């Protein structure tokens, strides 16, 4: 996994929850053109938990086919038990992927032994490399340094996605990590700080609706001021999304990039016209449209 940015793709759906293929394909191409070093398909931004079961493997296959071996493809398999996660992996059948990404089960809090057992069991039973997704705001269970030091020993566990910079720095301090263990930082607000600290694989869904700024941010030779300016533009758009339903606002932004579809869950209402106008104005201002 190379240094650079890794977008968590949105999943545009239409009538009946089916994938809008043309829109999805364009999104993937926009990301590759912008310089993405890999993609996460059906992460939390990609509606993994709300995609219809029959669409789930079709979305993964479509992503793999469009990418066509140009960059790595990771797919979310999150669920509430080992068996249910393995069911998701089975649904992927023979799709060639570079790894699967999962949180701990997100229904009840887990203790340290449960977390270690969960990931060790998955790594032993998965035909794909496994990547840990640290998402305590949803799962109620953060990944600790004690857990991570134990799981790094598992050869089929190939990395972690986390917004906890302290955890990353603790892991790297005095540790000789495997060459095939990749760390993806996911706290968008501190991407510039992370890059300065040498944590240079960044993963977030906002990259998909800001291809111009994402490209500028990660261009070779960019100085700290330029990186901060591009990040500031991305954060302005993210903060505007927070004025309404985030994924409904994201749907409007993606439509402005000619990638239409419902990127929000089927129960989420559209954002007000006033907020749509604000998003349109800002995306023009930050050179995205």
Look at residue 239 in the predicted model and tell me its pLDDT: 97
> Is residue 148 in a domain?
yes
> Is residue 126 in a domain?
yes
Q: At what angle do helices 224-241 and 246-256 cross, to 10 degrees?
A: 120
> Is residue 192 in a domain?
yes
> Is residue 236 in a domain?
no
Choice between 19 and 198, residue whose per-residue pLDDT is larger: 19
> Is residue 222 in a domain?
no
Number of domains in the chain: 1
Asked if pLDDT for residue 95 goes beyond 80, the answer is: yes
Look at residue 7 in the predicted model and tell me its pLDDT: 97
Domain containing 199: what range?
4-208
**Pairing relation of β-strands 99-102 and 130-133?**
parallel
Asked if pLDDT for residue 108 goes beyond 90, the answer is: no
Contact at 8 Å (CB) between 39 and 6? Answer: yes
> Is residue 239 in a domain?
no
Cα–Cα distance between 183 and 169 in angstroms, integer?
Answer: 10
Q: Which of 50-54, 174-178, 202-206, 282-286 has the lowest mean pLDDT?
A: 174-178
Average pLDDT, the chain: 93
> Is residue 130 in a domain?
yes
Instruction: Report angle CA 52, 279, 28 to the nearest 5 degrees.
Output: 45
Q: Which of 18-32, 84-98, 159-173 has the lowest mean pLDDT?
A: 159-173
Cα–Cα distance between 16 and 55 in angstroms, integer?
Answer: 10
Choice between 194 and 155, residue whose per-residue pLDDT is larger: 155
Look at residue 177 in the predicted model and tell me its pLDDT: 75
Q: What is the pLDDT of residues 209-253, one digit of tens each?
A: 999 999 999 886 678 888 899 999 999 999 999 999 999 999 999
Asked if pLDDT for residue 175 goes beyond 80, the answer is: no
Choice between 119 and 227, residue whose per-residue pLDDT is larger: 119
Choice between 17 and 175, residue whose per-residue pLDDT is larger: 17
Contact at 8 Å (CB) between 261 and 23? Answer: yes
Cα–Cα distance between 149 and 63 in angstroms, integer?
Answer: 32
The arithmetic mean of pLDDT across residues 249-260, rounded, is 97
Cα–Cα distance between 44 and 34 in angstroms, integer?
Answer: 22
Cα–Cα distance between 29 and 177 in angstroms, integer?
Answer: 33
> Is residue 60 in a domain?
yes
Asked if pLDDT for residue 195 goes beyond 70, the answer is: yes
Q: What is the 3-state secondary structure (H, E, C) of 101-157?
A: EECCCCCCCCCHHHHHHHHHHHHHHCCCCEEEECCHHHHCCCCCHHHHHHHCCCCCE
- pTM to 2 decimals? 0.94
- Taking the CB of residue 157, how many other CB atoms lie within 10 A of it? 24
Q: What is the pLDDT of residues 1-30, one digit of tens each?
A: 888 999 999 999 998 999 999 999 999 999
Cα–Cα distance between 147 and 192 in angstroms, integer?
Answer: 27
Alpha-carbon dihedral of residues 5, 6, 12, 16, nearest 10 degrees? -170
Contact at 8 Å (CB) between 97 and 127? Answer: no
> What CATH code is carried by the domain that includes residue 150?
3.20.20.70
Contact at 8 Å (CB) between 238 and 204? Answer: no
> What is the side-by-side order of every strand in the sheet holding 157-162?
4-7, 201-204, 182-185, 157-162, 130-133, 99-102, 73-76, 39-41
Helix ranges restricted to H, the chain: 21-34, 56-67, 82-91, 112-125, 136-139, 145-151, 165-172, 191-196, 211-218, 224-241, 246-256, 273-285
Residue listed under structure tokens 């998909």: 208
Model confidence at 174, pLDDT cuts 50, 70, 90, reads low
């Amino acid at each position: 996994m190379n240094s650079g940015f890794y977008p968590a793709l949105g999943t545009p759906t239409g009538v009946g929850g089916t994938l809008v293929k043309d829109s999805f394909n364009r999104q993937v191409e926009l990301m590759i053109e912008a310089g993405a070093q890999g993609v996460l398909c059906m992460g939390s931004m990609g509606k993994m938990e709300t995609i219809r079961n029959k669409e789930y493997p079709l979305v993964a296959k479509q992503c793999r086919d469009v990418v066509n071996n140009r960059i790595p493809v990771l797919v979310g398999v999150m669920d509430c038990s080992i068996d249910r996660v393995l069911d998701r992996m089975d649904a992927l059948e023979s799709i060639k992927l570079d790894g699967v990404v999962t949180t701990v089960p997100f229904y009840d809090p887990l203790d340290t032994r449960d977390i270690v057992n969960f990931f060790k069991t998955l790594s032993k039973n998965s035909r794909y490399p496994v990547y840990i997704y640290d998402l305590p705001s949803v799962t109620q269970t953060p990944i600790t340094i004690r857990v991570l030091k134990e799981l790094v020993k598992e050869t089929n566990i190939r990395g972690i996605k986390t917004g906890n910079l302290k955890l990353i720095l603790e892991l790297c301090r005095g540790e000789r990590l495997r060459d095939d263990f990749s760390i993806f930082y996911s706290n968008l607000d501190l991407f510039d700080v992370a890059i300065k600290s040498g944590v240079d694989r960044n993963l977030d869904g906002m990259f998909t609706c800001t291809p111009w700024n994402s490209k500028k941010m990660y261009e070779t030779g960019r100085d700290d001021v330029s990186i901060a300016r591009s990040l500031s533009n991305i954060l302005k758009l993210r903060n505007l999304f927070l004025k309404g339903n985030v994924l409904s606002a994201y749907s409007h932004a993606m439509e402005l990039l000619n990638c239409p579809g419902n990127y929000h869950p089927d129960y989420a209402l559209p954002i007000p016209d006033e907020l749509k106008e604000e998003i349109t104005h800002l995306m023009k201002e930050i050179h995205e449209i």
